[in-house]
Amino acid sequence: MRTCAVVLAAGLGKRMKSATPKVIHNLMGKPIVTYAVEAVKAVEGVSKVVLVIGRHSEDKLTSIFKDDPMVSFAWQEKLLGTADAVKSGLNALNGEQFDYTLVMTADAPLIRAETLQGLIDRHISGGNDVTVLSFVTLNPSAYGRIKRNPNGTVKCIIENPDATEEERLIDEVNSGIYVLSKDALPLLDKIQINAKKGEYYLTDIVSIANDNGLKVEAVRQMDEDEFLGINSRQELLYALTALKLRINRHWMDEGVTLMDENTTLIAPSITAIGRDTIIYPNVIIEGNTTIGEGCTIYPNVRIVNSSIERNVVIKDSTLIEDSTIQEGAAVGPFAHLRPGSVIGKKAKVGNFVEIKKSTLGFNTKASHLSYIGDAEVGDNVNIGAGTITCNYDGVNKFKTVIEDGVFIGSDSQLVAPVKIGKGAFIGAGSTITQDVQEGSLAISRVRQRTILDWVKSKFTLNKQ
């Protein structure tokens, strides 16, 4: 049993008022079209996905799927309607035959793979030739109406402009998702152009199949949100909201505490958040991020492509990108971990600290106002407030090595390349330009001078 999925994506999407093709717009970190493609790929028996695209969007769409061996492309030269789009898709198969064709719109990202699976299972078990997925909605005006016979079987689909007043009251509508058996495909050629719109309507296949004695069924689904088609920015936001809640509720079911399901954004790409992790409002978790058990993530934190191990605390307003935070460490508030940072077990990165491409060892602390870039910092190091690794001379980047147990006094500059040996001390306010040997004290500030009674004498002088 072989199934081909034809995903229709040639429409213009004018209502988005955008320079970007509609189905490429970002929805929680991925282009809209990838949701439909992933859903059809997850259906049992689907071995090929044909994406039907228009000339206006070809480069942008093909580049998204260029590394996916299951996806191929078909061009619809003129946008002559949904039936013409399906025919364009089938033509691109070059005679390859499939038992079933699953037709799906590219702009319905909330569809679940299970729903498509249920549709195709029903199509097969019912011995159908054409199966349409329908749903009931309070606001049917944007959709084709499912017209049923008195015995409940489906008669035809009527598009809104062609519907009578009475037909417009029908609240069961066409999702735009269908399964067609091999025997039903020749019917596509029998579809006549719709005079009003000058398009070939795929929906007409229902009445034509009936007229030709084929078996047609409309399968009704309950969750209206799954079929939301994105045509405008408002619908894009609506889809985002629905998807966000679906994902957040999933994580709560998995044992994660959320303080606010409306302002927490967890991308669909996230596969691991450990139990008993607590997430405060306004937290965004994106990309290839994993979070361990028992973490606390305070408000206004964004984590991108990072690995957060268990029992980590991330305090308010912190940005973490392409980094690793090991077990029991604490980061923030107002910290920025830039790509390539590794924060060791039980380490602490505090207020207004920026770290780039650096490793901090076990129990090392950089608690306030520091920049640490291109550095390798050992275990049990204390980095005083205002410490800066001067890693850039305007042309090249250099490395700073700080070995285990070092104490760096506040407001020090470490001019790289430089190495501070094990257990060494750096006096506060030092500018370190040479390596410091293990166990030594380096101090480079000007010795203090105190002029007694200077203020009084100056004050008296000025008065005269």
Residues that bind ligand UD1 (CB under 6 A): 8-11, 52, 76, 79-82, 84-85, 105-107, 143-144, 157, 159, 173-176, 201-203, 229
82 binds, among ligand UD1, Ca ion, none (CB under 5 to 8 A by kind): ligand UD1
Q: How far is the CB of 201 from ligand UD1 (least distance, A)?
A: 4
- Alpha-carbon distance values, 244 to 42, 137, 143, 266 (Å): 21, 21, 25, 7
Torsion angle, alpha carbons of 185, 186, 190, 196, to 10: 30
Nearer to ligand UD1, 232 or 296 (CB): 232
Nearer to ligand UD1, 8 or 308 (CB): 8
Of 225-233, 253-261, 305-313, 385-393, the window that binds Ca ion (rule: CB under 5 A) is 225-233
Residues 229-248 binding Ca ion (CB under 5 A) are 229
Nearer to ligand UD1, 170 or 390 (CB): 170
- Sheet holding 375-377: strands in order across? 272-273, 290-291, 307-308, 324-325, 342-343, 359-360, 375-377, 400-402, 418-420
178 binds, among Ca ion, ligand UD1, none (CB under 5 to 8 A by kind): none
Q: How far is the CB of 143 from ligand UD1 (least distance, A)?
A: 3
Q: How far is the CB of 361 from ligand UD1 (least distance, A)?
A: 53
Q: How far is the CB of 176 from Ca ion (least distance, A)?
A: 7
The angle at the Cα of 286, spanning 285 to 292, to the nearest 5 degrees, equals 55
Q: Looking at beta carbons, which residue is closest to Ca ion?
A: 229
Least Cα distance to 92 among 62, 129, 123, 124 occurs for 62
Number of other CB atoms surrounding residue 461 within 10 Å: 8
Provide the annotated active-site residues. 368
Nearer to Ca ion, 144 or 229 (CB): 229
Nearer to ligand UD1, 107 or 403 (CB): 107
Nearer to ligand UD1, 35 or 425 (CB): 35
Residue 456 in tokens: 């009084």
Q: How far is the CB of 79 from ligand UD1 (least distance, A)?
A: 4
Q: How far is the CB of 194 from ligand UD1 (least distance, A)?
A: 8
Contact between 140 and Ca ion per CB under 5 A: no
364 binds, among ligand UD1, Ca ion, none (CB under 5 to 8 A by kind): none
174 binds, among ligand UD1, Ca ion, none (CB under 5 to 8 A by kind): ligand UD1
- Alpha-carbon distance values, 160 to 169, 170, 178, 270, 454 (Å): 10, 10, 19, 40, 91
- The radius of gyration computed from the CA coordinates of the chain, to the nearest angstrom, equals 32
- Alpha-carbon distance values, 203 to 45, 49, 140, 146, 376 (Å): 25, 21, 16, 10, 64
- Site residues (CB under 5 A) for Ca ion? 229
